[in-house]
Amino acid sequence: MAHLRSTVWGPAEFVGLPPWWLTAEGILAGCLGAGAIVGSAVAGAWYGVPGLGNGEGGLVCAAALVVYLCVVRAGRALVGIAAVLAGCLALQAPQAAVGVVLAERGRVESAVVTSVEGGPGAVSSTGRYLCSVTDRDGVPLKVRIWRGCGQTTRPGDTLAVVYDPQGHVSPRGVEAGGSRPEPLRDLGGLAAALVVACVVAVVRSYRLSHTASRPAERDEPVDSPPSR
């Protein structure tokens, strides 16, 4: 049972509080992992790199973090928890990264609604109303807008749409009366949970150094000089 507990949750072979350097190592690993996952998504959305903006780079960073926890021989259950949290963070980071780009350099323009679909009664809908719109030049947008599109929206109405002048991310609708968006706020709890999981995993991976005990050297009899 002791071996099973050590394998699943880590040995944690220390008495009292864990060594401070071990806690610092766990915090550093968690912060670097979470920062790399979110940072790669933001960089991909900002510079228009599809491999990073769609979350693939974040998944690679999550895999690297899991490999590190395996190298330090953390408990399997804690490694699994960290892997799930890192994967969820990598999958949610791209949408937040798009919000960061639009919040920093997005421009708001009016778009004309051409059709309204969805709603609570739609079979394949999540309950949202989806508006197909055209820009000020009459060119239809490739994406349908749900922010600001409601039950009372009709074709011919105008919606405020924020778009990226460089075209690296898809445009979004602007909700009427909405406060200034904080794209990374929703990722804060998930990132904090990932850091905590890494700290616990690294701390509980601590093992005492078992050095092979060498047999004590026995005193060899010294040849006494011949008696005269």
pLDDT band for position 151 (cuts 50, 70, 90) = confident
> Rounded to whole angstroms, how far apart are CA atoms 69 and 89?
17
pLDDT band for position 121 (cuts 50, 70, 90) = low
Q: What is the pLDDT of residue 220?
A: 46
> Rounded to whole angstroms, how far apart are CA atoms 59 and 46?
18
What's the average model confidence in pLDDT over 88-95? 95
Structure tokens at 221: 């009899």
Amino acid at the residue 2: A
Q: What is the pLDDT of residue 175?
A: 73
Where is average pLDDT lowest: 58-62, 70-74, 110-114, 212-216? Answer: 212-216
Residue 45 has pLDDT above 70, yes or no: yes
Q: What is the pLDDT of residue 190?
A: 94
Strand partners, 159: 111
CB 98 within 8 A of CB 184: no
Q: Who wins on pLDDT, 221 or 7? A: 7
Q: Which of 62, 129, 51 is nearest to 94 (CA)?
A: 51
Rounded to the nearest 5°, which phi and psi values hold at 109? -140, 165
CB 142 within 8 A of CB 170: yes
Q: What is the pLDDT of residue 207?
A: 77
pLDDT band for position 198 (cuts 50, 70, 90) = very high
Q: What is the pLDDT of residue 180?
A: 56
Q: Which residue has the tokens 């004590």?
A: 216
Three-state secondary-structure class, residue 43 = helix
Most confident of 7-16, 162-171, 181-190: 162-171
CB 32 within 8 A of CB 205: no
Where is average pLDDT lowest: 31-35, 120-124, 166-170, 171-175? Answer: 120-124
What's the average model confidence in pLDDT over 121-135? 75
Residue 137 has pLDDT above 60, yes or no: yes
Mean pLDDT estimate for the chain: 84
Cα dihedral sign, 207-37-193-75: negative
Structure tokens at 75: 């408990």
What's the average model confidence in pLDDT over 22-38? 95
> Rounded to whole angstroms, how far apart are CA atoms 144 and 148?
11
Q: Measured in whole angstroms, how far is the alpha carbon of residue 114 from the centre of its chain?
A: 37
